[in-house]
């Protein structure tokens, strides 16, 4: 970023030292009060190694996978949750107690993922998602216990406990310039800012950490502004480095000295997260890169040994297709030192030449980064890699001629971030988030593009999984805050959530974000989310199509022939009833209408007519004559199949998805938002019917 840290003279400040408190991870020492949690449950039936390191089979044994937000150890196998902790869950007058054996990376803190057998003891599998449960952590003997804070705190819980992460699993944290006044942070808070990245901590004359190279990090004005933000339920990240000034890793010539300076900043501001904006000469300086990573690894180990969470992230320059070579080298070095990197944030700006579509460029760079991260952290699942990403454009007119990041670009990037489960969105900077007197010109104090005041902040806030200035609400979650390489193979619960091009494979949450007030329950993020509990679902195959075997569809929207993988962006073709009037064929639902089927965890899109023939108005899907009693709509899902497949095997798969074979009706969500759980792929593939959930 080039319109960056102007070094200015600072005034006299009061020096105050604050010691960072901590929360012991041992249950007996925990200060968090025991509580019963109101939330929701889903189920899974995978088998494999659970997060506690043992083999589990969620189809045959009683167990529970709990949200990543409850896990505190960098090595899940060693987490306190794996040592005799159970969950006692109550629904509909029934109570069961099941052991914690797995992690659910796509669940929010109030959402538990039961094994299939455990779920069935409380509710029929057809429900898929059940809201209105209560649950709590207990010992093997059923005694209530306390765990480190996670997710939804009771109303009135106040500021997050020092040493725990005050950040949700997905959030917006734009940059606030520390060469301005602390009042700037307060103004932004009043405008809706919840999470802020303070830019920048620099060397202030030798190996000494300061804001902007001249203001002590213990400045009481800044500390008071940070406290106010936290009192609203927010938090701050201190960002080290930037495009100018003396980067602290270069200013300090020893690992020990550098670690001490980092500790000073953590203690002064009671931080749980540090950002390192490394670019230019600092990125090219391999000696300082290694020294910085060593110091951070030592600091992180020191903090976490004391029960204080410390996440470290890097903000790095990006090309059109991801990180540059120096950035990749920095991350590989970080991995080699044992540093747990929680996030890699790319600066989607200053590409070196004019870019016509800055929104798409940011998305393309994020996609490239995903591939690069997978080559470094090879044990991580695709959704864990998305959750390891951040994305930071420069709003408005950029300092590279021809680059303009508009409010429309911001909307596209925010939607992409939610769909993929990107952990953090940011932008440079809050101080420019307003229109200039004259549009089209570069300015340090306004965006130079058409916008309302704080419009970029408002847009990016829609990705945050809790709403500002309220007690956190149950919401959808992206994937977990990733752990370092060396983590055991993905857990059984993790494998049931496959990322996709339009859905982040997350949990079926509730309101989703501050920008989706119309989205409730299991409807995902955005969309009207009308739930139909009286849906009769059937399946049709390649062999059933008219003409037989062509997979031709009557109203193509996304596909030229029936198909799809079940993601929000690539839903599976759905056939619906239709009628003719005045020579015009009309579908019961307009072509392009999306549905989500909780029982098979896939999205569908209306593209075909059900009951093809000479008299479509008399087709079975329209008349409902052969549907079960009480059915109000009939949806015919495309199952798949192709030349060379066993027709009987494909038909057997179609029979499995037919609700009549299970004795009743199913739930469908019409016009769902993105972000609901997805098991990606057609219902029939590789010669067999995929598992149904």
Please spell the DSSP secondary structure of 521-565, one letter per residue.
TTS-BSS--EEEEEEEEEEEETTTSSSTT--B-SS-SS-SBS---
Q: Is the peptide bond before 547 cis (omega within 30 degrees of 0)?
A: yes
Distance in angstroms (rounded) separating the CA atoms of residues 29 and 161? 14
Pull the structure tokens for residue 230: 């936290």
Burial of 48: CB neighbours in 10 Å, binned 0-12, 13-18, 19+? middle
CA distances from 106 to 1, 349, 424, 491 (A): 32, 30, 16, 12
**Active-site entry in 247, 279, 384, 484:** 279
Helices (H), 138-190: 182-190
Residues in CB range of 583: below 8 A, 6 or more apart = none
Q: Tell which residue, 229, 280, 195, 264, has the closest CA to residue 2.
A: 280
Burial of 689: CB neighbours in 10 Å, binned 0-12, 13-18, 19+? buried
Per the document, the length of the chain is 693
Strand partners, 606: 574
Please report the beta strands in 130-220, taking only residues with DSSP state E, as ranges in sequence order.
130-139, 171-172, 175-177, 195-203, 209-211, 215-216
Q: Is there a catalytic annotation at residue 279? A: yes
Helix (H) or strand (E) holding 337: helix 325-337
627-649 burial: b if 16+ Cβ within 10 Å, else e = beeebebbbbbbbbbeeebeeee
Q: Are 396 and 452 in contact (CB under 8 A)?
A: no
Distance in angstroms (rounded) separating the CA atoms of residues 500 and 9? 49
Strand partners, 37: 135
Q: Are 95 and 87 in contact (CB under 8 A)?
A: no
Distance in angstroms (rounded) separating the CA atoms of residues 219 and 269? 10
- For the chain, the straight-line distance linking the first and the last C-alpha, in angstroms and rounded, comes to 46
β 273-277/311-319 pair status: parallel
Residues in CB range of 609: below 8 A, 6 or more apart = 554, 555, 575, 576, 577, 578, 585, 587, 616, 619
Active site residues: 279
């Amino acid at each position: 970023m080039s319109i960056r840290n102007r070094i200015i003279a600072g005034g006299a400040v009061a020096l105050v030292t604050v010691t960072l408190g901590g929360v012991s991870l041992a249950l007996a020492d925990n200060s968090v009060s025991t509580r019963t949690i109101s939330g929701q449950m889903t189920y899974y039936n995978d088998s494999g190694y659970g997060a506690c390191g043992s083999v589990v089979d969620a189809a045959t044994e009683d167990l529970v996978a709990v949200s990543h937000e409850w896990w505190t150890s960098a090595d899940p196998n060693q987490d306190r949750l794996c040592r005799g902790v159970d969950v006692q869950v109550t629904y509909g007058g029934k109570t069961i107690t099941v052991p914690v054996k797995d992690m659910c990376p796509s669940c929010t803190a109030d959402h538990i993922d039961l094994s299939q057998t455990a779920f069935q003891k409380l509710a029929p599998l057809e429900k898929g998602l059940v809201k209105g449960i209560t649950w709590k952590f207990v010992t093997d003997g059923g005694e209530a216990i306390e765990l480190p804070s996670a997710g939804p705190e009771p109303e009135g819980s106040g500021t997050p406990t020092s040493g725990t992460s005050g950040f949700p699993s997905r959030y917006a944290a734009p940059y606030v310039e520390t060469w301005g006044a602390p009042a700037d942070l307060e103004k932004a808070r009043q405008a809706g800012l919840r999470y802020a990245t303070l830019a920048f901590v620099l060397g202030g004359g030798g190996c000494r950490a300061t804001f902007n190279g001249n203001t002590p990090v213990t400045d009481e004005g800044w500390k008071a502004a940070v406290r106010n933000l936290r009192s609203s339920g927010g938090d701050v990240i201190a960002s080290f480095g930037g495009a100018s000034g003396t980067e602290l890793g270069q200013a300090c010539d020893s690992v020990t000295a550098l670690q001490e300076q980092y500790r000073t900043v953590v203690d002064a501001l009671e931080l749980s997260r540090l950002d390192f904006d490394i670019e230019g000469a600092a990125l090219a300086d391999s000696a300082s890169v290694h020294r910085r990573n060593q110091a951070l690894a030592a600091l992180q180990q020191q903090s976490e040994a004391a029960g204080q969470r410390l996440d470290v992230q890097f903000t790095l320059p990006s090309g059109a297709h991801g990180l540059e070579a120096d950035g990749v080298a920095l991350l590989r070095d970080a991995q080699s030192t044992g540093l747990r990197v929680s996030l890699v944030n790319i600066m989607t700006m200053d590409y070196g030449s004019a870019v016509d579509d800055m929104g798409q460029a940011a998305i393309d760079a994020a996609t490239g980064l995903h591939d690069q991260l997978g080559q470094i952290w090879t044990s991580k699942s695709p959704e864990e890699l998305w959750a390891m990403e951040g994305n930071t454009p420069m709003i408005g007119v950029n300092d590279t001629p021809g680059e303009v990041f508009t409010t429309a670009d911001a909307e596209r990037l925010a939607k992409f971030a939610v769909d993929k489960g990107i952990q953090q969105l940011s932008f440079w900077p809050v101080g420019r988030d307003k229109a200039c007197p004259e549009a089209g010109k570069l300015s340090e104090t306004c965006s130079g593009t058409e916008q309302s005041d704080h419009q970029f902040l408002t847009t990016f806030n829609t990705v945050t999984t809790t709403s500002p200035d309220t007690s956190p609400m149950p919401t959808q979650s992206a994937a977990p805050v990733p752990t370092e390489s060396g983590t055991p193979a993905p857990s059984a619960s993790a494998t049931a959530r496959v990322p996709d091009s339009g859905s982040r494979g997350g949990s079926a949450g509730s309101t989703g974000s501050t920008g989706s007030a119309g989205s409730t329950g299991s409807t995902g993020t955005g969309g009207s989310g009308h739930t139909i509990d009286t849906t009769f679902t059937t399946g049709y195959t390649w062999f059933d199509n008219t003409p037989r075997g062509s997979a031709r569809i009557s109203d193509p929207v996304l596909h030229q022939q029936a198909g799809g993988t079940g993601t929000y962006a690539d839903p599976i073709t759905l056939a619906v009833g239709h009628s003719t009037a005045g020579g015009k064929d009309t579908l019961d639902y307009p072509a392009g209408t999306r549905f989500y089927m909780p029982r098979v965890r896939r999205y569908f899109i209306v593209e075909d007519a059900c009951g093809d023939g000479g008299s479509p108005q008399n087709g079975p899907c329209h008349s409902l004559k052969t549907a079960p009693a009480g059915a109000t709509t009939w949806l015919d899902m495309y199952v798949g199949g192709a030349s060379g497949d066993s027709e009987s095997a494909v038909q057997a798969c179609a029979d499995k998805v037919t609700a009549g074979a299970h004795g009743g009706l199913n739930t469908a969500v019409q016009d769902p938002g993105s972000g609901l759980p997805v098991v990606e792929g057609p219902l029939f593939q590789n010669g067999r019917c995929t598992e149904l959930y």
